[in-house]
């Protein structure tokens, strides 16, 4: 890593009015994300650290930093809540980390559409939308810490994706406003689908300032833990609930009997050997949900009705998606995880095949979603009993050999992760246009552009 000590010293002296952070302990904290879920990334990224962090309070301050870094050739890495899992916000080549979390304004809400600054936390945005009758369509389980810009540039979706699909499904993201990385930074407005060139590109091809997105009606939600005597019945129930068109839902997840014991708060309610479905549905669905569970041999092990969470201070949403991995890792440091997608229509068969081939090295956790075409399917965040990096690779290859797609969470470049195979040329085109000197988050794109 080349140090930019002198040029950064000059930049900080030229811009003393900005909120610079340089204490080593804070530099370290603000250079990290949740890549440590992966033993491979933990080893590779542990020593990467920014040389300075800046927290711009408005667009003018951001422009000053960007222009200064562009002039001096200092790398820039944008950071939202820092909850990414693949070292997306880790500065591989030092330089400046730009903390976006002071840019939090909700610009407007109109006709079910909102426009907000990228640094706003998702829970804070939802809280502003709710009194107006609206909610975000899908959020990661990290919605309390994660930002709107971080979700757009680094995330997939999550809670709500069972109703609206991933964030990238046509119709949710309507437009973005960007700042380019140039000595005279430009402001660019992109409408969808062009706006999607910036999505999930790890902040490599423009700094997102504002996002305009379509909303969902705000609904009240009940939360359930449903217990089943075996995986077959749990799967059949989860699929039936996920597919039931007249039961509005925000979350359907399935946890094998080997995973449920990691949920310390749920343990008293679930017996050994029971497979668990977490469901979040509307109060009007209480009766049909109970009937559907009974039809599949399940029982309601725990229920929290809408409004009760303020008393318990507790939501099942923070047990789903990658929070499952977080809870499990707290208990057993030798675990890691994968991100898998099953072939539509072959999910059940592929799940059986991987259980047969991998045995108890793969502990099943499924999330039901609508895919980009609106079809009900499931994706996996299985826990993996980690032994060696070679064995982890073998398990990934085993999934792939069975036709199961793996979005490898143990790599940090776009080409090796979700964009495996070929990087969409429109992402590279945006990189050339909006970051011509290649200063944004260097190292995350391998392809020469």
Ligand X SMILES: Cc1cc2nc3c(=O)[nH]c(=O)nc-3n(C[C@H](O)[C@H](O)[C@H](O)COP(=O)(O)OP(=O)(O)OC[C@H]3O[C@@H](n4cnc5c(N)ncnc54)[C@H](O)[C@@H]3O)c2cc1C
Binding residues vs ligand X (CB under 6 A): 33-34, 77-85, 88-89, 100, 118, 140-142, 146-147, 149-151, 153-158, 202-203, 207-208, 321-323, 326, 441
Q: Residue 33 or residue 51: which is nearer to ligand X going by CB?
A: 33
* Minimum CB distance to ligand X smaller for 62 or for 293: 62
CB of 104 to ligand X, least distance (A): 12
318: CB partners within 8 A, 6+ apart? 141
177, β-bridge pairs: 189, 210
Nearer Cβ to ligand X (299/433):
433
Specify the residue, 82 or 94, whose C-beta has the smaller distance to ligand X: 82
Q: How far is the CB of 271 from ligand X (least distance, A)?
A: 27
Phi-psi region of 285 (alpha: psi -120 to 50; beta: other; left: phi over 0): alpha
Q: Pick the closer one to ligand X by CB: 51 or 274.
A: 51
Distance, in Å, from the CA atom of 377 to the CA atom of 344, rounded to the nearest integer, reads 6
Give the residue at shortest CB distance from ligand X. 150
User: In angstroms, what is the minimal distance from the CB of 239 to ligand X?
Assistant: 20
- Residue 24: Cβ within 10 Å count: 8
Smallest distance, ligand X to C-beta of residue 272, A: 26
Residues 6+ apart with CB under 8 A from 247: 241, 281, 282, 285, 288, 289, 292
275 and 260 Cβ atoms separated by less than 8 Å: yes
- Provide the minimum distance between the beta carbon of 84 and ligand X in the complex, in angstroms, as a whole number: 3
Residue 269 C-beta: closest distance to ligand X, Å: 22
Placement of tokens 């509005």 in the chain? 248
| CA 412 from centre of chain | 14
Contact in structure between 159 and 413 (CB atoms under 8 Å): no
Residue 202 vs 235, nearer CB to ligand X: 202
Quick one: tokens of 389?
A: 């990096």
Q: Helix 5-14 to helix 59-72 angle, to the nearest 10 degrees?
A: 140
Which one, 1 or 145, has the nearer CB to ligand X?
145
Q: What's the Cα-to-Cα distance from 31 to each of 27, 285, 345, rounded to whole Å? A: 6, 44, 41
CB of 8 to ligand X, least distance (A): 19
Strand residues in 4-152 grouped as ranges (E): 20-21, 52-54, 76-79, 96-99, 106-110, 113-117, 134-135
Query: Who's near 372: CB < 8 A, 6+ residues apart?
Result: 165, 166, 168, 169, 170
Nearer to ligand X, 205 or 285 (CB): 205
Q: Quick one: 77 or 304, whose CB is closer to ligand X? A: 77
Minimal distance in Å, beta carbon 445 to ligand X?
Answer: 11
Q: Give min distance, CB of 232 to ligand X, in A.
A: 26
């Amino acid at each position: 890593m080349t140090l930019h000590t002198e040029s950064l010293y000059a930049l900080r002296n030229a811009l003393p009015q900005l909120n610079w952070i340089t204490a080593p302990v804070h530099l370290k904290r603000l250079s990290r994300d949740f890549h440590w879920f992966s033993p491979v990334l933990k080893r590779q990224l542990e020593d990467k650290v920014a040389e300075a962090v800046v927290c711009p309070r408005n667009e003018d301050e951001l422009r000053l930093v960007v222009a200064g870094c562009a002039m001096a050739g200092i790398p820039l890495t944008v950071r939202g809540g820092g909850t990414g899992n693949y070292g997306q916000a880790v500065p591989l080549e030092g330089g400046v980390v730009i903390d976006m979390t002071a840019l939090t304004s909700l610009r407007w809400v109109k006709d079910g559409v909102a426009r907000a600054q990228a640094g706003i936390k998702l829970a804070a945005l939802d809280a502003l939308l709710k009194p107006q009758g609206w909610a975000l369509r899908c959020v990661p389980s990290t919605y309390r810490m994660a930002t709107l810009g971080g979700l757009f540039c680094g995330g997939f979706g999550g809670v709500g994706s069972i109703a609206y699909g991933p964030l990238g499904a046509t119709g949710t993201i309507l437009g973005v406003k960007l700042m380019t990385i140039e000595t005279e930074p430009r402001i660019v407005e992109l409408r969808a689908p062009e706006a999607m060139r910036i999505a999930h590109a790890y902040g490599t091809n423009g700094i997102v300032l504002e996002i305009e997105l379509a909303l969902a009606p705000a609904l009240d939600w009940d939360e359930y833990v449903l217990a089943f005597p075996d995986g077959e019945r749990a799967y059949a129930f989860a699929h039936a609930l996920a597919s039931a068109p007249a039961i509005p839902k925000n979350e359907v997840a399935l946890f094998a009997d080997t995973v449920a014991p990691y949920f310390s708060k749920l343990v008293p309610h679930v017996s050994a050997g029971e497979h668990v479905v977490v469901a979040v549905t509307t109060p009007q669905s209480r009766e049909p949900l109970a009937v559907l569970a009974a039809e599949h041999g399940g029982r309601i092990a725990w229920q929290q009705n809408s409004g009760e969470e303020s008393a318990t201070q507790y939501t099942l949403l923070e047990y789903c998606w990658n929070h499952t991995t977080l809870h499990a890792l707290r208990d057993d440091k030798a675990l890691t995880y994968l991100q898998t997608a099953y072939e539509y229509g072959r999910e059940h068969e592929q799940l059986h095949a991987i259980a047969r081939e991998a045995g108890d090295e793969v502990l099943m956790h499924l999330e039901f979603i609508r895919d980009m075409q609106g079809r009900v399917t499931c994706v996996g965040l299985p826990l993996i009993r980690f032994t060696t990096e070679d064995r982890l690779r073998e398990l990934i290859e085993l999934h792939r050999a069975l036709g199961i797609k793996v979005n490898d969470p143990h790599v940090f470049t776009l080409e090796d992760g979700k964009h495996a195979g070929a990087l969409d040329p429109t992402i590279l085109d945006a990189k050339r246009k909006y970051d011509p000197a290649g200063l944004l988050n260097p190292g995350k794109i391998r392809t020469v552009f």
